[in-house]
Structures are given as structure tokens and as C-alpha cells.
Amino acid sequence: MTSTDTTPPAARPIRRLLIANRSEIACRIIQTARELGIETVAVYSEPDRDGAHVAAADRSVALEGRTPAESYLDIDKILAAAAETGADAIHPGYGFLAENAGFARRAVEAGLIFVGPSAEAISEMGDKIRAREAAESSGMPVIPAAALTEDRQTNLDAAARLGYPVLVKAAAGGGGRGMRRVNEASELEEAAHGARREATAAFGDGRVYLEKYILDPRHIEIQVFGDGRGRVVDLGERECSVQRRHQKIVEEAPSPVVDAALRERMTRAAREFAASIAYAGAGTVELVLAPDGEFYFLEMNTRLQVEHAVTEAVTSTDLVRWQLEIASGGSLPELTPEPRGQAIECRVYAEDPANGFLPTGGTIARVDHPSGVGIRVDSALSDGSVVALEYDPMLAKVVAWGADRGQATERMIEALRNFRIAGVRTNIAFLLDVMRSVRFAEGAFTTTTIDEHYSAWKPTDTDAAALASAAAAILIRRGVARSAGRAGGGETGSERPPSPWDTLGAWRLGQSAEHGTAARKRS
């Protein structure tokens, strides 16, 4: 290890933690903080006034805005909330300000502990071009790439040298945005313009570059932790190849295609890279694995990942706890746990898979969360929750652990069948189809499988997810209207409306028509 400009985290305990985020991830972080006896401060936007994270925290501060820009992205408001409540640390979660170097810098300047790496590391890794350079100089394999210039012919020559297909990528990209695949020379200029426009709008930074497009790749990523003093450990890999438009939907650990020798090569490359930048805290080194078995650096995410729970499930660790311990100056464990069994995560989105996966908003009339041996659900949903279109459409994450991949899949299918959400369309029936597919059972998904084979997906009759949702919403409205009427008539009104699940009959999600008929006959 050589010298570095990254200041090691100061050794001081965290007493009061502000969580600069919302929804399931804010609740997840509050959970661990409470276990550690750390007081928690939630911040919230107007639509989130009744949010689960507000109720879960010890204290909360209204950010008095509706859009992300007016609330969870407003650095001044969040730092003011920290000052007002005497917080000594900030956890940014994922999304929003989690990879905003300016936020990390200003938090530290305000005397707060930022639960994450240094502002320098965030800024260097947030720029895919600089991150590639840093990765390459640590010995990590990188995908052949070229600069995109203002000159059309220079760009065409560069793409021809890389060989089609190529990918136009935004230096500041994230969340699958700012990317355009180019199959032949005639598409290049338009793709570059489109990506530039999208990146300028989404990230305020229109710089784009060219990468060779790896055909039929798998997305494999390595969870690393650094102590900021040059020591880095890893917690193995996650496979995230089930993606739609470069956005993950299903993740698992370990990967069904990574053997011990490949794991050793991948994790060593990731550790050496993170160590070369004296990385502090939780980080994810994302790689693509080509069909020929070669892997290449994609990017490094300098935060807790959405899919961190699959790593927690197979290693029996609490990654948020590790983050908080490192942030308060603690050291990494000498030995890291070996992964045991298999964990799968499904992201439940408020979107309509039968209608181009369009995000859907609305009010959750009724939600029943699944449970069971090996099942974990990270969710901030409850009856009456409002799904606002302003925010990411992810509603919840279901994680299933099993002794092997078959058992984890069986448990996931059963959990998804029992995850009942009324009032808002979700992708649950779609997730069930993926889980039940032969392709998934064979571990054969690449990052393009969904886009190639599921674009015209429609729910099957037996799923009837949309119908179940609509029927339940109507029944609940009736039930609610009845009890409201009783309350008006001088009764207490505390009685719970009848459960729509009791009367849904054939429309139960994932149940066969026979079950439904039997249920109706009984009632």
C-alpha cells in the first residue's frame, strides 16, 4: 500500500444517526442502529409524512418539499436537520445523495461522520472514466474503451477499432441510465447524442464514452469492505444478471456459474483494486463475466447496495453494522465468513409488467407480507401507504434463503404467492414466472434474457394478479365504507373491515381456480 489522500475515519462513537433516505432502506438502517443503541433521526418529504421510516425513528424532521429535489436531495435542508437534532452521523442509504461527493464533503465539514467512503473516493468512482483508469492501474481487467469526440469520423474510427456492437456510456451514469447499444456505424451519432442528452438531464454531466459491448454477459459483483487504512476484505459475489433495461430485478448469492477458482480471481482483483484506493466502508465492485469466462470491471458503487441482503443471508452478517463500525473508527474482522447455502432476492416494483413495465402509483388498500422459514421481507408498506410517482417504484424486497438453490427458489415462489398487495399493480406475477422458469432453474439468465424473451409478457389466467388487486381494492372500499357508516351511527368504529382475502375466491394471487372454487363453496 502506498500513501493516500484519504483520511482514515476518526475513532469516535456514533450516538445519534440521521438517515438521509426513505422507505425500506431507511427502515433497514434504523433497525441496526436501534440494535446498537444508536438514536435515530428520520427526515421526510410531504408525501412521506406517514411513512414507515418516520414512525420507526426516534425523532423526525420534515423537509417540507414534495419532489426529491426539494427534499431528499436538498443538502442544505438535510444538514440543517442534522444540526437541529444534534445528530453526529449521517447514513445516506442508496440512491439520492448516497454517491454525491459534495454531500459527503459538506457533512464532514459540518463535523459529522459520513457513513461511507471519503468524498474523494466517491467522486473518483462516480466518474466511470476515472474509475476505469484507477481499476486498470490496480491490475483489474477493463473492457476495451475509447473516447467520444465532437468529430464524427474520429468516433466512427474508434468504434470500428473496438468492433461492433459497442455501447455508448455516460461517465456519470447510474441506475442503468445514459447507456445506448450501437450495432452498426449508422447508429453511432444518434446514440451518442441521445446518451449525452439523457446524461445531461439525469446527472447534469453529459460526458459520454464508448465501450466494447460484451455479448450475453453475466453481471457479477463483489462485496468489499475497506478500513480506510488499506486493508480490504470481501464477502463474496452476487449474481445480478436478471435485469430489465440494465436495471436489476433478481439477485442471488452465490452465483450459479462462479466456481472456486473464478471466485478467487474475481475477489482478489476486487480487493486489490479497493486497497489501491485505500477504500473505507462498504463498496461493490461490479464486473461483467463474458461467455468465454473472462471478467471485466464495470464500475464501483460506493455505498450499500439494494441487494446487500443476499450477502447478509449467506454470510450471517449485518452489513449496516459493519458500515457503522467502520465509520466510527472500528477495524474489520480478521476472518470473514464463508458463504453458506443460497439466497435469492426479488425486487417487488409498483409497475405494470403487462403494459411495458410502466410505473404505477396509488394507495395500498391492503398488504399482507409473506413470512416463513428462510424468508426475509424488507418493506415499508402498510395498509393505506401511498405509492408516490415521485420516487423509485421499488416497493419491497423479498429474500429467500435455502440450503441449496432449489430450496431457495421453492421458498421464494411460496413467499411471492403469499405476498398480497391490493390497490397498486405490481410485478409479483412476473417475478413468479421468472422464478418458475426453466431458464432460472438452470441458472441460464444473462443480462439480456428479460429484454429478449419477456418484452411481450402477459399474466397467465391462474395468476390473475391484476384482477385480484382490483377486486380486493373494491371489497376493501366497501368494507371501509360500511365501518365508517357504523361509526357515524354512534358506534366506536374500531372494528376492522372484513378481510378481502376471505372473500376473494378465485382471484387469489397464484392460486389455481380449483382452490378458489373450493373456497367459495365453503363460504
| Nearer to Mg ion (CB atom), residue 23 or residue 447 | 447
Which of the residues 259 through 288 are near Mg ion (CB under 5 A)?
286
> DSSP 3-state assignment of 458?
coil
Span 387-406, contacts to ligand ADP by CB under 6 A: 392
**Residue 88 or 124 having the CB closest to ligand ADP:** 124
Give the per-residue contact string, 287-316, with ligand ADP (x = CB under 6 A; - = no).
-x---------xx-x---xx----------
Kindly state the cell numbers that stand for 45. 418529504
Contact 385, 364 (CB under 8 A): yes
| Alpha-carbon distances of 134 from 209, 227, 313, rounded to whole Å | 16, 19, 31
87 makes contact, choosing from ligand ADP, Mg ion, none, with CB < 5 to 8 Å by partner type, with: none
Strand partners, 500: none
Based on CB atoms, which residue is closest to Mg ion, 243 or 511? Answer: 243
Q: What is the three-state SS of 342-359? A: EEEEEEEECEEHHHCCEE
**Least distance from ligand ADP to the Cβ atom of residue 201, Å:** 12
The residue whose grid cell reads 436501534 is 34
DSSP per-residue string spanning 277-331: TT-EEEEEEEEEE-TTS-EEEEEEE-S--TTHHHHHHHHT--HHHHHHHHHTT--
Binding track, positions 341-380, relative to ligand ADP; x by CB under 6 A: ----------------------------------------
Q: Which is nearer to ligand ADP, 134 or 509 (CB)?
A: 134
Q: Which residue is nearest to ligand ADP (CB)?
A: 174
3-state secondary structure of 205: coil
If we measure between CA atoms, which residue out of 261, 253, 260, 258 comes closest to residue 284? 253
User: Considering CB distances under 5 to 8 angstroms, the limit depending on partner class, which of Mg ion, ligand ADP, none binds residue 361?
Assistant: none
Closer residue to ligand ADP in complex, CB, 251/463: 251
The C-alpha atoms of residue 421 and residue 471 are separated, in whole angstroms, by 11
**According to CB under 6 A, which one of 54, 101, 143, 270 is a site residue for ligand ADP?**
143
d(CA 202, CA 174): 9
Q: Specify whether the CB–CB gap between 237 and 259 falls below 8 A.
A: no
CB of 341 to ligand ADP, least distance (A): 22
* Residue with smaller CB distance to Mg ion, 211 or 286: 286
Q: Identify what 16 binds: ligand ADP, Mg ion, none; CB under 5 to 8 Å per kind.
A: none
Size of the site for ligand ADP (CB under 6 A): 27
| Region 218-257 residues binding ligand ADP, contact defined as CB under 6 A | 219, 243, 246-248
Query: Nearest residue to Mg ion, using CB?
Result: 286
Q: Is 482 helix (H, G, I), strand (E, B) or coil?
A: helix
Q: Which is nearer to ligand ADP, 239 or 325 (CB)?
A: 239
The enclosing H or E element of 387 equals strand 386-387
| Per-position x/- string for 145-184, each x denoting binding to ligand ADP as judged by CB under 6 A, each - no binding | ----------------------x-----xxxx--------
Calculate the CA 149 to chain-centre distance. 33
Separation CA 216–CA 198 (nearest Å): 25
Q: Give the interface with ligand ADP as residue ranges (CB under 6 A).
A: 94-95, 143, 167, 173-176, 203, 211, 213-214, 217, 219, 243, 246-248, 286, 288, 298-299, 301, 305-306, 392, 447
